[in-house]
Amino acid sequence: MNPSVHERIRLRKGDITRVEADAIVNAANTSLLGGGGVDGAIHRAAGPDLLAECRTLGGCPTGSARITCGYKLPARHVIHAVGPVYRDGLHGEPDLLAGCYRTALRLAVENGCKSVAFPAISCGIYGYPIRDAARIARDEVVAFIREHPEIEQVIFVLFDDRAYDVYEEVLHEAGLTNGSDDHSS
């Protein structure tokens, strides 16, 4: 029998650049040419070949994603998702954020990735309220992996204690409590 959905979702605290998943997801911008936050950390850890490949992609619209190699990262691929800048939640931000998760997971399946690690897309510089964003992330991941048993593991990687605690609560409120894995990376 396939492992249940809750067994396939994990929480982890720490730096996503250290995670050994088939793909890690980047919180990128539409240029795909790097930036601060997790984007800067991923480009630093992957090395300059990542930026060279990103230059060939011609950008990416908000709410979508593109995939590259991982280069010096332990992850085989980087999926660059472009989250929305949060204004007030009434300008399409929830749908755009949901689109990031759906597209990233679709790209993962198309590229044979069984494990995918996500940061809290849009929850840093782009200002998305973390609890709202975590619920969207949870709901999109649950809906997708129910239909796609080939995704064996999704890891939400949270950089700080507060984000980790909010994700834990948000998983708990949906009955997804067994996935917590508080190993710092």
* Amino acid at site 134: A
Q: What tokens were used for 11?
A: 């929480």
Q: Is 99 in the site for ligand AR6 (CB under 6 A)?
A: no
Least separation in angstroms between residue 181's CB and ligand AR6 is: 15
- Footprint (CB under 6 A) of ligand AR6, residues 5-24: 15-17
Does 174 engage in binding with ligand AR6 (CB under 6 A)?
no
Minimum CB separation from ligand AR6 for residue 147, in Å? 26
Cβ proximity to ligand AR6: between 5 and 68 the closer is 68
Q: Which two tokens stand for residue 52?
A: 């060279």
Partnered with residue 78 across adjacent β-strands are: 24, 68
Give me Rg for the CA atoms of the chain: 15
- Closest to ligand AR6 by CB, 105 or 163: 163
| From candidates 126, 144, 156, 167, binder to ligand AR6 by CB under 6 A | 126
Cβ-based nearer residue to ligand AR6, 108 or 166: 166
Options 9, 113, 134, 163; binder of ligand AR6; rule CB under 6 A: 163
Encoded tokens for 13: 């605290």
Strand partners, 79: 25, 67
Total residues binding ligand AR6 (CB under 6 A): 25
Amino acid at 31: S
Question: Residue 177: how many CB atoms within 10 A of its CB?
Answer: 11
> What sign results for the dihedral spanned by CA atoms 123, 160, 27, 136?
negative
The residues, ordered by sequence, that sit 6+ positions from 44 with a Cβ below 8 Å of its Cβ are 17
Binding site for ligand AR6 (CB under 6 A): 15-17, 27-29, 35-39, 41, 83, 119-126, 157, 159-160, 163
